[in-house]
Amino acid sequence: MPVRCGAYEIVAPISSGAMGAVYRARHLGTGKEVALKRLLRRAATRRFEIEARLLATLDHPRVVRVLDHFDHDGDHFLVMELVDGPSLAQLLSERGAPGLPVHEAVDYAREACEALAYVHEQHVVHRDVKPENLILGRDGIVLVDFGIAREDRVGAEGTAAIGTPGYMAPEVIGGSVSPRSDVFGVAATLWTLIAGEPPRYGESVALDVDAHLYVALRAGLELDPNRRTASAEAFAAAIGARLTPPVGSPLAITVQEPGMPATLMEAVVRAAAGVFEAGAASLALLDPFTGELVYEAAWGPSAAEVLGMRIGPGVGLAGAVAASGVGEAVPDCHSDARFAAAVAAGTGYVPSTMLIVPLRRSGSTVGVLQVLDRRDGEGYGPDDVERATAFADLALMAVDMQRSGRDTVAP
């Protein structure tokens, strides 16, 4: 008998792992089939919502589309596009002898690196790269089943690290996750596709490939992340694979004619999101004529809705910081009387916690930098204000230097 789960009916199991089970499901209203992931560990709701909302903004042909998320009977569910096709694990099981042809395996790894290069640029780490999570669709490899809402603390049940033995980087066991963790996963996946079985930690087993590829694989499988190949792009280059030009949608965008150089503004909000592990970030400048804050760059969910928005002098938490010239960490936006909830609701993104610092030039405030919702679900604090203030000062200095350089260039 089919099992109902919220607005969905579970049709059949697809896979299960340490952090969740994935099912083929059907929407009760539209009949559309999707992949439904139920998290087996009940992570904090705030953390789950922040990460799920961020995943839903990813847009790349090699990355599965996250359609929705919801809670049901105390469990968290992620709704993903259903990608038709076999996983690389299935392909290996059906055709491996014991592995696949080297050139074919390298091509699959290249396409996986295209997906990883995109998600890492958006400050997203997959955390569970393995053959089961790489589906061979109609147009090539699609990366599916992101590990989300990880629990890094050690408690009564130990460290709840996301990953699969054989493909999980050693540092993940201790709760440390970074893009280099995914590099280990894609290197272990390529090794498996060639050898027919995953590598063992620290073992230098011979592999029937040319010396250059073997060295690249060993570099991708370094146990020490500081000695490991640094990025998915670098790993692709090391295995002799050329990535296609970027085709995904970036999470950082700017207005058409911003008051600062567009590419630099995008870099500022993107870097702020990464440095402060935020679910979203934005930059607003003061209109010298009206005193309004004008949002000219944004990163993350609802960035397009935030871009170009104007808020009146002193309105909301951002307006208060612009007026006072003093940065603030707001651990709970909803309990702060200054929070402009209606304005936030209009963008489609209502944050739980916020960090706002002024952009100051020659003693005067010229704008504000905001980061929203720490990815771990915790609130920002005084130490974050100090760091963010220094970050904003450096960012404005870089902008002024670039402006000065442009102004001195002859037409």
Catalytic residues: 128
**Using CB atoms within 10 A of its CB, is residue 12 exposed (0-12), middle (13-18) or buried (19+)?**
exposed
Element containing residue 127 per DSSP (H, E): none
Backbone angles phi, psi at 119, to 5 degrees: -65, -35
CB 185 within 8 A of CB 218: no
Paired strand residues for 143: 63, 134
* Count of alpha carbons within 13 angstroms of residue 230, beta-carbon side: 0
The token pair at 83 is: 């990608």
Helices (H), 84-138: 88-95, 102-121
DSSP sequence for 64-82: PPEEEEEEETTEEEEEEE-
Distance CA 60, CA 108 (A): 16
Phi, psi of 342 (to 5 degrees): -65, -40
**Amino acid type, 198:** P
Helices vs strands, H then E, count in the chain: 12, 17
How does strand 66-72 pair with strand 151-155?
unpaired
